Structure 1
């Protein structure tokens, strides 16, 4: 199919051919193979051969081009690393169900790991990665979507996405206070924020302006800032219920968290436990006639309440409360990609000094996307640049190395 869609100097763009390869060929190479690894080495080599041939057609590279450099140029990892990546995704998904039958079997096998140097199955490697996580993982019997009540799923929260305040406004704090006093007079104001340092945990800060009450929560390093922002909204709702506040407006600078809260529940990720819990708390507030509104504010523009919440979130990464200190499944879903990129970088650093040295000299790390993904070059120009980057092209110097062309210096 790929040969019909494009050749070296004609046909579809490499970015289009790469999409076809991912949808038609790589999906077949990936299907269920992580259950078989380690297995028949000869069979896996045949799969590797299919991948290398497809990448040569996609990129328009010469047959002599090294496979590891082709994989870097097309941003397609080696199949053995991809099998481990798919296994990690599978394990990190099922560990959220505490009654899944595979977990007990993997727990038993992890205690029987042999001391020899034989490679472990992909599933067992993934389970051992999960066991190395310091924080526990939140688990449930059914998906949070199916565990939520029908009324909470239909709930539509009151959210203000704009107060007409820009980041460049020098009087942002004064204008903000005027808008709040006119729109929510005599309402309680709660500010939430989340922060994450590159080498630390996620911190969540909650600040009640009228009572000057603060709360700091620390989440594990695997958590995302989005989870921290949503967790801040959840803590604000719990605060409203605890202190029985009749009228409350919650301010946050996380637009994505408010958009997820406003989205129709059946269109949400069914694993977003915190969002469904927020909707359950909102329903509880409505049943007690507590008015709760949400409002988005721009960050880092001098709004005093937001500045206070941001300061609390930064300090919470170190001194925040560690309850509940646990991971959520939608955050663990990002770990397989990080592990894959790290492993591929290590392989490229080792193999790039032996094969594919020409490309390694100009591309020493694994890119996230191929360089030709968003360029409008034609097929001929793209294939020529790829061949030049790989160091395997039709120039006389390289053809002389292949003993297919004799170049005489005059």
Structure 2
């Protein structure tokens, strides 16, 4: 499948593992994996499949620490991948009401506990303050019967001004980098009369949910406004700058409680009046859209004393992100507790802190990735490692007279022989690992190949 000069490229090997091997390993794992999580011998055997993939793709030596490779390439061990997939499958089954609601029997031996008990215990640990049943994900529901119409025109469309027998409405949602959220609604009954509403939403709501809730509130407000006899002949045009929201409403089925509730509200309002929901380009100086955007941003920055009522459920992505964080924290705990050499751990930690790690390293190609991985892991042809496997080899540096072990970081950071090259490449001598990673992130390539450029043709 792969050799030094032939076979699949590293990114293709990674693709084969993710697309073919991993789905086979995790198939229906929610029904069997939780019982195996405490069985270290079986988990070790499962970990070998992922470890073999990393060894084949990176060209690392078999003696390389798996914790180093998992951290360097942002890979989860197979045991944690099974746990993560089991939890995600359980969350989906719970939201679709397919999860068994069993009472915990404390008389059952722990080794004989059903898998659902084990998963519930883990989920309750992760979501201490949240109820998984408040998930926005639900069963596929038919929303094909629509009393309202949906339109997405070109970027050059111009919204109508409020004229006789037409009520124009603008909605918008906002989510800032600090996760503060809000929505705004502006309703123009005529050129002189308007109604506005803006409220704060919760931090876990997505910008899509803010947009949807703004449209829901507009529908509820319009339902009250249109009950007036003087407006019985009026039609309504609602403008939204979210194409994703309009496309979600145009689908015949939905698995989001937010969209289903919005659809039902629009259908109720449109049962007596003609309602059109039309996309408007955002930030094009359209007065109504800019007003709704301003209202939403105000409430994202300056929260209301009270939140809006009937807010959307917690998005499914929130639960997924919590599970991802839980498994990544367990991986990081393994890394922090691993018995790795100080230099290697310091180098890999510096790489992670500068966001230079990840599976994008596989795109460098095998010729580049192999020596780079061996340089980082410390398992290479330099004297320090060769002394560990062959005591006849002295561990000291071949280039300088000091009795310093010959490691890749010694050659790059402080070996006197490379002092001139170090000044030419980095402008500093000697150089620390943290300085090295900072300078690496500022290079044109913004990757770790600068380390190989420094070492040159030295065989690792």
TM-score range, shorter chain: 0.7 to 0.9
| Alignment correspondent of 1:260 | 248
Residues 327 and 280 (structure 1 numbering): CA distance in 2 closer, same or farther, change over 3 Å?
closer
Say which of 193, 201, 211 aligns to 1:229: 211
1:327 & 1:188 partners in 2: Cα distance?
30
CA deviation string 1:71-113 (max 9, x = no partner): 123322123332332233123223324x5452x32x6469999
Bigger shift: residues 219-228 or 128-137: 128-137
Residues 228 and 60 (structure 1 numbering): CA distance in 2 closer, same or farther, change over 3 Å?
same
2:298 & 2:109 partners in 1: Cα distance?
45
| Alignment correspondent of 2:328 | 341
Say which of 128, 151, 158 aligns to 2:151: 158
CA contact (8 A) 1:194 1:228 kept: yes
Bigger shift: residues 332-341 or 87-96: 332-341
| Alignment correspondent of 1:133 | 130
Per-residue deviation at 1:397? Answer: 4.5
The alignment's C-alpha RMSD in Å is 3.8
Do structure 1's residue 29 and structure 2's residue 25 form an aligned pair? yes
Secondary structure of the 2:239 match is strand
1:192 & 1:109 partners in 2: Cα distance?
51
CA contact (8 A) 2:204 2:315 kept: no
CA contact (8 A) 1:194 1:225 kept: yes
Residues 328 and 393 (structure 1 numbering): CA distance in 2 closer, same or farther, change over 3 Å?
same
1:208 & 1:387 partners in 2: Cα distance?
64
Per-residue deviation at 1:134? Answer: 6.9
| Alignment correspondent of 2:414 | none
| Alignment correspondent of 1:171 | none
| Alignment correspondent of 1:57 | 56
TM-score, scaled relative to structure 2: 0.68
Per-residue deviation at 1:46? Answer: 1.3
Secondary structure of the 1:293 match is strand
Bigger shift: residues 41-50 or 394-403: 394-403
Residues 308 and 39 (structure 1 numbering): CA distance in 2 closer, same or farther, change over 3 Å?
closer
Secondary structure of the 1:160 match is coil
Matches within 5 A, 1:106-185: 108=104, 121-133=118-130, 137=134, 143=139, 145-146=140-141, 148=142, 150-152=144-146, 157-163=150-156, 179-181=158-160, 185=163
Secondary structure of the 2:375 match is helix
Residues 196 and 18 (structure 1 numbering): CA distance in 2 closer, same or farther, change over 3 Å?
same
Structure number with bigger Rg = 2
Secondary structure of the 2:279 match is strand
Higher relative contact order (CA 8 A, sep 6+): 1
| Alignment correspondent of 2:42 | 43
Residues 37 and 8 (structure 1 numbering): CA distance in 2 closer, same or farther, change over 3 Å?
same
Bigger shift: residues 56-65 or 31-40: 31-40
- Structure 2 unaligned blocks of 5 or more: 111-116, 400-460
CA contact (8 A) 1:202 1:219 kept: yes
2:35 & 2:354 partners in 1: Cα distance?
30
| Alignment correspondent of 2:375 | 388
Do structure 1's residue 310 and structure 2's residue 304 form an aligned pair? no
| Alignment correspondent of 1:203 | 182
Per-residue deviation at 1:16? Answer: 0.8
1:342 & 1:207 partners in 2: Cα distance?
44
CA contact (8 A) 1:345 1:365 kept: no
Per-residue deviation at 1:260? Answer: 2.6
Secondary structure of the 2:359 match is coil
CA deviation string 1:368-405 (max 9, x = no partner): 841325x4x43222222222233322345533443288
- Structure 1 unaligned blocks of 5 or more: 115-119, 165-178
| Alignment correspondent of 2:404 | none
| Alignment correspondent of 1:10 | 6
Count residues in correspondence: 373
CA deviation string 1:246-302 (max 9, x = no partner): 33332333332233334x325xxx422222333334444443232323222324868
TM-score, scaled relative to structure 1: 0.75
Secondary structure of the 2:64 match is coil
Matches within 5 A, 1:77-96: 77-96=76-95
Secondary structure of the 1:344 match is helix
| Alignment correspondent of 1:72 | 71
CA contact (8 A) 1:61 1:386 kept: yes
CA contact (8 A) 1:396 1:405 kept: no
Residues 208 and 111 (structure 1 numbering): CA distance in 2 closer, same or farther, change over 3 Å?
farther
| Alignment correspondent of 2:349 | 360
